A and B are shown apart, each in its own frame.
Chain A
């Protein structure tokens, strides 16, 4: 890797100050995406500001309506948190399916969201669970956060502090892994809210995460669900858009079935 300076920030203010002093600095949380990219020379920051040990970024908090997870919380912590397992079981399960065991020890929620890989898992949960991305300067609704292919609404230097997930009545995540990378060939998160409100978010099949409105509309009778439009879906080395569209349907059904078993 190209040489750079490493700073471990003790708190958010220090992190921001460090970033302000150098526009080529990048925040480092788990490094599960950033470091491999740097090893291949794809990104060459002058500085890495390690925010992973900032305490406020690592907490999981509970209140009546929501669970709020610090941006630097590792996937493994979310997966094994009895709080998350109880309150948003789909989210705990999703975290347990990211990468592999070693990746889950290091990778973080904030890192995943900030990167917005079109085949990452967390974006699906965040969108389905009415997520609020709370940064150092504002709160961004999930709807407005994911802006495109590897793109988010984050401004330069903006740090995600935590993410608020609204507690559903029930939730489930179904994922089909790409056999080589373990990323989602398709991943569907279903969240059931009071008053028959359903939110379905899909990842892995297109340019980025999206809400599947047709699936939400016909939640109670999935045979009515129209297939996703193939034009918006990816055909690549691993699967055609047709297969991905089909998978999305299958996974939606599996997640929905799982929820119905509990409600």
Chain B
């Protein structure tokens, strides 16, 4: 099968039942995408597929054939993405395990809602669980990232 991963076209062979997250982690050693549950709820495995956030543990690699996949490793080609910066600066991460997924979901949210309301943030991150931060700083990180992105595009 073929797909573009972090801007590079990849052709590879895996069994049909291989999950997208397994291809990313085991085949391409992109271990930034994590597995945190087995009921598709925690969001630790979130990546961007054709610029939209999906849970890579609930997708077959085959379903992603001919798609553009972006993982946390490929989010910024040079330096850091504003969302990455904001997460650190607002202390929106502690152990870091949920963080890649949380960042990818935030990128998706801000693509849809460049200036999200509290409710939109709540809904946008409902598919990502964090146990360390208590979310308050994550909300601050989302708002800070929104501002950074708006300033950049001005």
Contact residues of A with B, CB < 8 Å? Answer: 1-6, 8, 28, 31-32, 35-36, 39-40, 48, 50, 52, 76, 80, 96, 99-103, 105-106, 181-182
A-contacting residues, B20-68, CB 8 Å: 38-41, 43, 46, 49, 52-55, 58-60, 62-63, 65
Interchain CA distance A96-B109 in the complex, whole Å:
13
Decide if B62 touches A40 in the complex (CB within 8 Å): no
Interchain CA distance A147-B88 in the complex, whole Å:
52
Decide if A31 touches B59 in the complex (CB within 8 Å): yes
Residues of A within 8 A of B59 (CB): 31, 35, 106
Decide if A50 touches B127 in the complex (CB within 8 Å): no
Residues of A within 8 A of B105 (CB): 101-102
- On whether A40 and B52 interact (CB within 8 A), knowing A3-B16, A35-B58, A101-B105, the answer reads no
Beyond known contacts A101-B109, A102-B43: 20 more, CB 8 A cutoff: A1-B17, A31-B60, A32-B40, A32-B58, A36-B58, A40-B38, A48-B60, A52-B63, A80-B112, A96-B123, A100-B41, A100-B123, A100-B126, A101-B123, A101-B125, A101-B126, A102-B46, A105-B52, A105-B108, A182-B126
Interchain CA distance A7-B40 in the complex, whole Å:
23
**Which of A4, A31, A80, A182 has a CB less than 8 Å from the CB of B58?**
A31
**Which of B39, B53, B62 has a CB less than 8 Å from the CB of A8?**
B62
**Which of A35, A101, A182 has a CB less than 8 Å from the CB of B60?**
A35
Residues of B within 8 A of A80 (CB): 112
Q: How many residues of B contact A (CB 8 A)?
A: 31
Residues of A within 8 A of B125 (CB): 101
Residues of B within 8 A of A8 (CB): 62, 65
Decide if A101 touches B38 in the complex (CB within 8 Å): no
Decide if B39 touches A3 in the complex (CB within 8 Å): no
Decide if B58 touches A101 in the complex (CB within 8 Å): no
Interchain CA distance A8-B127 in the complex, whole Å:
28
Interface membership of B82, Cβ < 8 A: no
Decide if B60 touches A100 in the complex (CB within 8 Å): no
A-contacting residues, B94-111, CB 8 Å: 105, 108-109
Closest Cβ of chain B to A255, distance in Å, is 19
Closest Cβ of chain A to B112, distance in Å, is 8
User: Top 3 nearest A-B pairs by Cβ distance?
Assistant: A100-B127, A6-B16, A6-B62
Residues of A within 8 A of B78 (CB): none
Closest Cβ of chain A to B41, distance in Å, is 8
- On whether A106 and B58 interact (CB within 8 A), knowing A31-B63, A101-B124, the answer reads yes
